[in-house]
Amino acid sequence: MTVARPAYHVTELTVGQLSARSGVAVTALHFYESKGLIKSRRTPGNQRRYTRDTLRRISVIRVAQRMGIPLSTVRDALAELPEERTPTREDWARLSQRWRADLNERIEQLLALRDGLEDCIGCGCLSVRDCPLTNPYDELGEEGPGPRRLLREPTGAAARGRTRNAPAAEATAPVADPCGGVSTSCQGGATDPTD
């Protein structure tokens, strides 16, 4: 069954209308409501009714989810919006300001991922040509689990080999010779540090 788009003058939407207009499944809307992300009122017949500004809240939720922002963070931010009136541009500006630093950090991480994916990321696989040179014997594994270079790099290739909090002397220290100075195979690009 297709639900017609509600007329512009309709101030409350049924769950079907909200689903059709937002592109979000009814079950997802019920989930959002159970998590306190959106609210409805009940009619005398126990049917849900949503105010039109719920469409914007759902849009923000969906975009935030795509950006990897946890639903609990979205809920906390949406809780600061007014309940009795449609949020104004200023209300939304305040909300977006709260996420700006987090989004900038995520953008920085995505750029580092994009720019460094073809190089050694310090994950321990030692399968990329320069892994033996930039992560000999998986020394970065001593720092902890995961892709150590991606987790600590400020941005892309310009910062390779430097941690955010590393002293300047450490950032310019030469990379250890994975071959122990006895083999010339590493100079040719071999990926096995035991050659």
Chain segment 61-105, per-residue pLDDT in tens: 998 888 888 999 889 888 888 776 667 888 888 888 878 888 888
- Pairing mode of beta strands 12-13, 48-51: antiparallel
What tens digit of pLDDT does each residue of 99-134 get? 888 888 888 888 888 887 778 877 788 777 778 778
Residues in the chain, overall count: 195
- Cα–Cα distance for residue pair 24/26, rounded to 1 Å: 6
For the sheet with 48-51, list strands across it.
Answer: 12-13, 48-51, 41-42
What tens digit of pLDDT does each residue of 145-195 get? 888 877 764 544 334 443 333 333 333 333 333 334 333 333 344 444 444
Closest-CA residue to 20 (of 35, 1, 33): 1
Whether the Cβ atoms of residue 171 and residue 126 lie closer than 8 Å to each other: no
Q: Tell me, what's the pLDDT at 85?
A: 67
Q: pTM of the prediction?
A: 0.58
Whether the Cβ atoms of residue 60 and residue 93 lie closer than 8 Å to each other: no
